[in-house]
Amino acid sequence: MMQRGIAILGSTGSIGTATLRVVARHTDRFRVAALTAFGNAALLHSQSDATRPGYVGIVNPAADVSAAWGTGPECLVEAATRPDVDIVVNAVVGAAGLRATLAALRAGKRVALANKESLVMGGDFVLRACAEGGGEIVPVDSEHSAVLQCINGRSHSDISRVILTASGGPFRDWDPERIAQATVAEALNHPTWRMGRKISVDSATLANKALEVIEAHYLFGLSYDQIDVVVHPQSVVHSFVEFVDGSVLAQVGFPNMELPILYALTHPERSPDASARRFDPTAASPLTFERAALDRFPALGLGLEAGRAGGCAPVVFNAANEAAVRLFLAGTIRFGDIPRAIGSALAASTSVAPSSVDDLFACDQAARAHVHSLFH
């Protein structure tokens, strides 16, 4: 079998390093063709020495950068569109991942998409690039991988609803006053997953689940009425798909991102892999489900409304959230300020639908500026 070339954008992050572990176990099928990172040159050097890719790029070149490396934000698009790349794993965090998603799809690549912000910010543009370029989007997000695995080739008209599961995050049973004062360390202490800092905070506010509902809307062509959310603290059921006859399928397993990453590379095939902890229903027991508390986690409701509103609202939601999370992680604002900032940015934004990718970034920048103006 021919090895497929993989570009890993964001190779130094949580998903990026997990992808390298997956690829290292499957060198018969895959080889690393390109790597990019934001600024961790030391880790990028060791990854590059281990995998010998044809291209390495670093966005922010400080000391210790190899002269052969591509530099600057353009390195993402360069890595994503190389002829020896078949699959682009977009594991960049935030809006910074959008242009590479678009370029890869236009170049006809498969995009194994962890960067859900690409779809939230530019869903219509991403789908158009995919159709025009002959590319393909396969989700890495565990919930969406679960939905894809349950749908497994069945016709779209057979699906009546998906139910995305959410862990509920570290503050699931906290009272509102305590949530509002939560520290950075508390927000990063996710009960079931070890992830990058931004998505960990998003999981604590439940903004992550709103991003995922919008992601599902675009990935699976479902209306917002067809997408529900349920809190499931054990993170064992990765999501449900309900079919028109009332039958419901779920994909289950102990939480481990290496499985959805591998599936995004091999879909619709499967590849033998013994890394995941073997499933044991009695060890997973009990599995519990509860409604999401929209009153205590207002970022979720704001994101769902933004998704339904469409136009620039999802762009504003995503950008305001990114800006507020950054300020929270820097110790500048309180946890409770994150949903306040998002709500304020959405209220201040216009409803003009973006007609170009440049419009998306203009809208993104305005929302970030609005959030910064609230705290100065």
Q: Which residues bind Mg ion (CB under 5 A)?
A: 141, 143
Q: Judged by CB under 6 A, does residue 99 bind ligand NAD?
A: no
Q: Judged by CB under 6 A, does residue 15 bind ligand NAD?
A: yes
Q: Judged by CB under 6 A, does residue 77 bind ligand NAD?
A: no
Q: Judged by CB under 6 A, does residue 38 bind ligand NAD?
A: yes
Smaller CB distance to ligand NAD: residue 167 or 349? 167
Q: Judged by CB under 6 A, does residue 195 bind ligand NAD?
A: yes
Rounded Cα–Cα distance for residues 207 and 190 (Å): 14
For residue 135, is it left (φ>0), alpha (ψ between -120 and 50) or beta?
beta
Rounded Cα–Cα distance for residues 113 and 65 (Å): 27
Q: CB of residue 19 vs Mg ion: minimum separation in angstroms?
A: 16
The residue range among 88-96, 130-138, 303-311, 334-342 that interacts with ligand NAD, by the rule CB under 6 A, is 88-96
Is 131 in contact with 104 (CB distance < 8 Å)? no
Provide the β-strand partners of residue 58. 37, 71
Q: Judged by CB under 6 A, does residue 14 bind ligand NAD?
A: yes
> Binding residue for ligand NAD (CB under 6 A) from 4, 5, 7, 12?
12
Long-range own/partner contacts, residues 169-178 (CB < 8 A, 24 or more apart): 169/203, 169/204, 169/205, 169/206, 170/203, 170/204, 171/204, 171/296, 171/297, 172/231, 172/233, 174/296, 175/296, 176/295, 176/296
Smaller CB distance to ligand NAD: residue 261 or 344? 261
Query: Residue with the closest Cβ to ligand NAD?
Result: 13
Two structure tokens written together for 261: 């990453």
Rounded Cα–Cα distance for residues 31 and 51 (Å): 8
Cis peptide leading into residue 233 (ω within 30°): no
Rounded Cα–Cα distance for residues 7 and 35 (Å): 6
Q: CB of residue 181 vs Mg ion: minimum separation in angstroms?
A: 26
DSSP state of 6: E
**Binding track, positions 234-263, relative to ligand NAD; x by CB under 6 A:** -----------------------x------
Backbone angles phi and psi of 202, in degrees to 5: -60, -35
Smaller CB distance to ligand NAD: residue 200 or 344? 200
Smaller CB distance to Mg ion: residue 117 or 143? 143
Q: Judged by CB under 6 A, does residue 196 bind ligand NAD?
A: yes
Smaller CB distance to ligand NAD: residue 267 or 344? 267
Binding site for ligand NAD (CB under 6 A): 10-16, 37-38, 59, 76, 91-93, 96, 114-117, 141, 193, 195-199, 257
